[in-house]
Chain A
Amino acid sequence: MSSSKNFTDKKRSITDLELMANTIRQDIVKMLEKAGSGHSAGPLGLADIMTALYFDILKHDPNNPSWEERDLFVMSNGHCAPVLYAAMAHAGYLPTSELSTLRQFKSRLQGHPERNTLLGIENSSGPLGSGLSQAAGMALAMNMNKESHRWVYCMTGDGELNEGNVWEAIMLIAKYNLHQITAIVDRNNIQIDGTTEHVMPLEDLRAKWEAFGWHVIEIDGNDMEAMIDAAAMARAIVEKPVVIIAHTIPGKGVDYMEFDYHWHGLPVGLADVAGSPPANEQAKVALKELRTLRGKIKNESHHD
């Protein structure tokens, strides 16, 4: 496998990346409507960060998922699987036509990601709180093997920070200064039972990470350029591990979903949610909004 080539060597413009994120959002809506179950808000909110990771930040080769020099991406919030699968498909890990098999019998796209079903997935996840620890193990192995210039990115949800396991990892990573790890917190402020501050307050979240010995960068997680810049800064900081607290809009790009916690654990087209279109119209409305960038592109009628 000496012929590995870094997929992100070819730099794409911010506009191209934003268009890719929009395509991924449309795929997420279609996948969830077809599947009839799954989470909507988180994956839509993460489309920009995941696009930044798979199309700009990560060193990886979709043609050789086991490339020994690749960066590692650990998704700890496995319920956001649709955005992972869509980003991986567009990067070339699987055919985009396979996305419609999400959550179906014998599909490689299991309801929550499984390492042994799809090459390129580093860790099985879904049960929350374990990803950052696994990232720590991977970074420790890199240190033992004296491998530098490899990075580990770990995505966690914000509700996920309720789990004690995460804080165990946060302490250990600071103890061993595993600075090749960059944690990304999807700060979308919602979880299943309501807002994070209602269910189990996380604030002052920055102060908490800092008190545990981490360097904190806060960004607008739906700003492509901000994410790419933050990742570059995170790689440059070696005296501490870095967490990017990425403020994202849950349901980003679909008006009726944005900021509404009811959409955390619901798929498009399954349930009637107050303030949203009826179930059978939801996907159509969402896709139209995404395709037209919320009406900015007018000449769209032939798609209806």
Chain B
Amino acid sequence: MIDLHLLDIKDWGSEPTRKGFGRGLVLAGDADENVVALCADLTGSVQIAPFAEKYPERFVEVGIAEQNLVTVAAGLAHSGKIPFAASYAAFNPGRNWEQIKTTAALNDQPVKVIGAHAGLYTGPDGATHQMLEDIALMRCMPNMVVIVPGDSVEAEKATVAMAKDTRPNYLRLARDNTPIMTTSDTPFEIGKAYVFSPGKDITIVATGTMTSVALDAADKLFHDGIDAEVIHCPTVKPLDSATILTSVRKTRRVITLEEAQINGGLGGAVCELLSEHDPVPVIRMGMKDEYGQTGTPAELFNHYGLTAKHVMMTAHEMMS
């Protein structure tokens, strides 16, 4: 077992994943002058600002026009650039899905679609801004790679990796502070899932910031006599089938965990894999075919059953 250099739960830090993206974009820009950035009137919010300040000649402000955002990016990619096109996930890819499909994915251009403020962490803004369908939307698009980093440190690494990836990519980011679980030495590779906490009784596959919830639950479950294995799955597409199937051969039961629609999301992806290769009982935790609402993230996670306590209850239910 390789050392993943994870922090102990008691040592976890806190930062929004978008901050890591902002740092990663500057690093990617330092490394390759073809890296460019586009934004739709949210430069500070989606953390494009550090790049735009350092490389103003490589930054394009398109205004509040998300269709233009990705199609201009596709034109830049056509001509050899590696464009990072950022807005809120509710609009990018919420509004411009067809443009992403036709001009980026069908053309197989390395357009990097950055969906910030995704999921329930956009709490008080309400249902219109809580993008919960993005994983499903982007996962069904041929050629597209879907990345949901677990924390800001991983988001930084993912951004640097995306700049080197020749495919169109989607990166999902959250607004609020979320736990920092990983360190600069923790490995990240597009397409790889990682066993963040080994166990033998039940597999919890989590993506994005929900991995911290899974780890918290697994830690407490251990004291209840349940040895849960937590797989952190920052790339939802292509799914790391081998890592998931290896775990499931051992545990024979699975919980999936995401702050997104389970239909077509990580839950959908894992069920597609298992139903074809190793059918075992699965409980999908996430948004169950409903929209969010205004509230603090804590209120919302509690209301929609997405806290460590809910994961523990689900694990107990599956074990009994």
Residues of A within 8 A of B (CB): 74, 114-116, 122-127, 129-130, 133-142, 144-145, 164-165, 168-169, 171-172, 176
Contact = CB atoms under 8 A, between A and B. Distances in A.
Given A140-B76, A165-B99, A172-B72, A123 B65 contact: no
Interface in B101-127: 102-103, 106-108
Contacts of B65: 168, 171-172
Contact of B72 (A125, A126, A137): A137
A168 B67 contact: yes
B62 A172 contact: yes
A122 B76 contact: no
Contacts of B98: 127
B36 interface: yes
Interface of B: 36, 57-58, 60, 62-63, 65, 67-68, 71-81, 83, 98-99, 102-103, 106-108
Contacts of B79: 137-138, 141-142, 145
A125 B102 contact: yes
A101 B77 CA distance: 30
B81 A141 contact: yes
A45 to B, nearest CB: 24
Contacts of A133: 67-68, 71-72, 74-75, 99, 103
B103 A140 contact: no
Nearest to A78: B102
Contacts of A114: 106
Nearest to B58: A144
Name the 5 nearest CB pairs between A and B, nearest first. A137-B75, A133-B71, A141-B79, A168-B68, A134-B75
Nearest to A127: B102
18 contacts: A127-B98, A130-B67, A130-B71, A130-B99, A130-B102, A133-B67, A133-B72, A134-B78, A137-B75, A138-B76, A138-B79, A140-B72, A144-B36, A145-B79, A165-B71, A168-B68, A171-B65, A172-B63
A192 to B, nearest CB: 18
A141 B68 contact: no
Given A116-B108, A123-B107, A144-B36, A137 B102 contact: no
Contact of A140 (B67, B75, B102, B106): B75
B75 A168 contact: no
A124 B68 contact: no
Contacts of B77: 137
Given A141-B79, A165-B67, A123 B103 contact: yes
Report whether over half of chain B's contact residues are helix, strand or loop; otherwise say mixed: helix
A115 B108 CA distance: 9
Specify which of B57, B83, B107 lies most central, judged by the most chain A CB atoms within 10 Å of its CB.
B107
Contacts of A123: 74-75, 78, 103, 107
Nearest to B62: A172
B63 A134 contact: no
B94 to A, nearest CB: 15
Given A133-B75, A137-B74, A171-B63, 6 more contacts: A130-B103, A133-B99, A136-B72, A137-B76, A141-B80, A145-B80
Contacts of B108: 116
Given A122-B78, A144-B57, A144-B81, A169 B71 contact: yes
Contacts of A137: 71-79, 81, 83
Contacts of A176: 60
B110 to A, nearest CB: 13
Specify which of B65, B75, B103, B108 lies most central, judged by the most chain A CB atoms within 10 Å of its CB.
B75
A129 B75 CA distance: 14
A169 B71 CA distance: 9
Nearest to B64: A168
Given A125-B102, A137-B83, A172 B68 contact: yes
B37 to A, nearest CB: 12
A164 B71 CA distance: 13
